[in-house]
């Protein structure tokens, strides 16, 4: 089925460890996004990419980096994980409607 695939679904990290969340879409969308979801705070934008080769900061970019590898793929990297980064992370892509991946539940201990 067409859509957005993100991996992994669950991850536990120790403070200071690094990891990359992967995201791929097969809808030929130009725009892709990374959000985090915390209780009572809705979805907050971390980074977005308007097209291949471009990335921009969103509302809460500190502690994260991104790569738009090609039109399909947009990855999110945590270089040195902190407990404050415990959250659910969503990748999304969009033309005139936003389509979301299944989410990654990340716990930093």
Partner 1 sequence: AQTVTQSQPEMSVQEAETVTLSCTYDTSENNYYLFWYKQPPSRQMILVIRQEAYKQQNATENRFSVNFQKAAKSFSLKISDSQLGDTAMYFCAFMKRASGTYKYIFGTGTRLKVLA
Binding interface with partner 1 (CB under 8 A): 30-31, 33, 40-43, 45, 48-51, 88, 90, 92, 94-100, 102-103, 105
- In terms of CB distance, is 17 or 24 closer to partner 1? 24
Nearer to partner 1 by C-beta: 6 or 85?
A: 6
Enter the DSSP assignment of 73: B
φ, ψ at 83 (rounded to 5°) = -55, -30
Q: Which residues pair with 25 in a beta bridge?
A: 4
Rounded distance between C-alpha atoms, residue 96 and residue 3, angstroms: 14
Minimum CB separation of residue 36 from partner 1 in Å reads: 12
């Amino acid at each position: 089925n067409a859509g957005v695939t993100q991996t992994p679904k669950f991850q536990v990290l120790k403070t200071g460890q690094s990891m990359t969340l992967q995201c791929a879409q097969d809808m030929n969308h130009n725009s892709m996004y990374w959000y985090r979801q915390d209780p009572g705070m809705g979805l907050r934008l971390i980074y977005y990419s308007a097209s291949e080769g471009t990335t921009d900061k969103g509302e809460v970019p500190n502690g994260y980096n991104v790569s738009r590898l090609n039109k399909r793929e947009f990855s999110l990297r945590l270089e040195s994980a902190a407990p404050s980064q415990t959250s659910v992370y969503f990748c999304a892509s969009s033309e005139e409607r936003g389509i979301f991946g299944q989410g990654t539940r990340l716990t930093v201990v």
